Structures are given as structure tokens and as C-alpha cells.
Homo-oligomer: A and B are copies of this chain.
Amino acid sequence: MRTRRSLIDLDDLKADELDYILARTDEFKKSAPGKLLDGTACANMFFEQSTRTYASFMLAELRLGAHVVNLHPMNLSLATKGETIEDTAITLGAMGFSVLVVRHPEAGFPKRIAEVFDGHVVNAGDAGHAHPTQALLDIYTLREEFGSLRGRTVAIVGDIVHSRVAHSLIRGLHRLDANVILVGPDAFLPPDYASPRVSVERDFDAVLPRIDALVLLRIQRERFDSMPISDDEYVASYRLDADRLARMSNEAIVMHPGPYNRGMELDDSVLEFAGWRYATQVKHGVTVRMALLDFLVNGR
């Protein structure tokens, strides 16, 4: 009887479900929907620091009329009282919560919750594993720019191996028949994306002329002990600057999941580039999360 829907990674969505969510995002963007989650109880459980994802989910929930309770780690009595997180989730379900939005520094944590929670779990980022709503908003942004992504080429640049955003985005782009090029130094490249439409490239400059979109990633220093190449080397080889921008197609766009570090993965010229889509991504983030929550709770 459990027909509850959760979103742990983009794999959880069938292609037509993904299309539905993106179409609803279009609708919501044109005119704000009513209180589609009127009185639905949502708990945001952020076990890891977050500004933009936290604020974006909370705005999405409030705009849909949900009742929102934030359970920061200080409220989560697990540590001192010896309860398992699974039992906490069951308790929240019994209390009347329908939606749990979960960020956690441990891969697989949101999935563990989804397996027992009698409601909808949304993964808001679990360690280096997955961040499906960020990938959804990236895909929405790409589709708004290019229409169908079939045959389009997206390069993802930087610290791919530690990036939950990259992992989710690769899955989503694969589903939509886009070509993906992963670009970075060896230490940042994953060993295992052997797919006909996912390739790996160490030479950023060689890739620039043939891409439709570039996704720059932040180096996730909090996820490894020491930087595998020097900052200077990284900047020399992988920072997007005015010279590299000039070698891209006029129609190409540049995206970043944020937060970005000026001077490291990009310089200030990128922030003024007409193809810089960061603000658009952030704006879409709230709308796509509204569409996702509506889909999970209300179905089609």
C-alpha cells in the first residue's frame, strides 16, 4: 500500500514524471499557483550548513501554503536520547508530517529515512552522493535556453568526484539524451562514467569551442584533506576567465550551482558575461522545488 513518492536522486523520476515537473515549473513561473500544499506539514532537517538550498525550500513551502517546521540539529534529540533516525522519522510521520526535506553529511542518509517514513522525503544533498533538486533546476535552466537537450553538449568542470550536484546532473542529462563532458584534473575525475554519452577530458581549452553549456563546480575543500593540485595550477588550467570565455560559442551559457568562489573557478569577467545564468538558476530553484513538492504530495 505504500505509494508514497520520494526523491532521493533523479533516478527516482521516470522520464514522463521529469517532463511533468518541468512543465509545471513553467506554469508556476508564469503565474503563482495557489496554496497547493495548504496546511501540509513539512519538516526541514538540515544536518549540514546550507543557506541557499534551505532558504529555497522554505520559500517554496511557504508559497504553497505549507506549515513549515525547521528541525535543526539542535532540535534533533537523537544524539543525547539514543533514538535511531528511523524511529524519529516514523514519529514525525505519526505526528502528521507529510514531507521531510533532508540534508545530511552522510551519503544514503535521506534514503534510509525514505525507507521507513510514511510520507515524502526529498534529498536536499547527502555528502558527495546526490543533490537532485539542484540538478532539476539546472536542467530546467538548460531546457529554457535550448528546448530539447537531445544532442546538446554540456561540460561539467572542476571537482566532479566530490560533487553531489555533478552526480545528480549527469544522471539527469543522461536521461534527456544530452552529451556530457567531465573536465578536470585526474584527482577530481570519477573513474566510472563509462557511458557512450559521458566522456572525460583533462584539457579544458580543447573543450571550450564545442559546448553549449558549461557547469562550473566549487572545489569542495571540506570533503578532502589536501588539495590534490596547487591552487595556481588549478587556476591556470581550469578557471574560466575572459580568454576562455572568448573561445566559447556565442550561444553558450555558463552555470554554477553556487556558492562560487571568485578568483578560483571563475574570475569577475564571468559574472558580467551575458551567458552567465547563475541568478536565473537560483530563481528557478524556488519554482522547480514548488513543482516537485506539488508532484510528490498531490501527484499529477
Binding site for B on A (CB under 8 A): 32, 39, 41, 43, 46, 49-52, 54-56, 58-59, 62-63, 67-72, 74-84, 87-88, 90-92, 94-97, 218, 221-222, 258-262, 264, 278-280, 282-283, 285-286
Say whether, besides A50-B77, A55-B69, A259-B88, A286 and B83 are in contact (CB < 8 Å): no
Is the Cβ of B77 less than 8 Å from the Cβ of A259?
Answer: yes
Q: Of B51, B69, B78, which contacts A59 at CB under 8 A? A: B69
Which residue from B67, B77, B84 sits with its C-beta under 8 Å from A51?
B77
In the complex with contacts A50-B75, A51-B71, A81-B282 CB distance below 8 A: no
Nearest residue (CB) in B for A221 is: B82
Collect the chain B residues with CB atoms within 8 Å of residue A278's CB. Answer: 91, 94
- A83-B260, A94-B278, A259-B83 as given contacts; A54 in contact with B75, CB under 8 Å: yes
| Bound Cα distance from A41 to B279, whole angstroms | 17
Chain B residues in 8 Å Cβ range of A279: 90-91, 94
Q: Which has the most chain B C-beta neighbours within 10 Å: A41, A52, A283?
A: A52
Q: What residue in chain B is nearest A76 (Cβ atoms)?
A: B51
The residue that A95 contacts in the complex, of B41, B221, B222, B283, with Cβ under 8 A, is B283
Q: Which residue of B lies closest to A53 (CB)?
A: B77
Tell me the nearest residue of chain B to A32, going by C-beta: B39
A-B contact pairs, 29 of them (CB 8 A): A32-B39, A41-B62, A49-B74, A49-B76, A49-B77, A49-B81, A50-B77, A51-B77, A51-B91, A55-B92, A59-B69, A59-B95, A62-B67, A62-B68, A62-B69, A63-B67, A72-B74, A77-B259, A82-B218, A82-B221, A82-B261, A83-B259, A91-B259, A91-B279, A94-B278, A94-B280, A94-B283, A95-B282, A95-B286
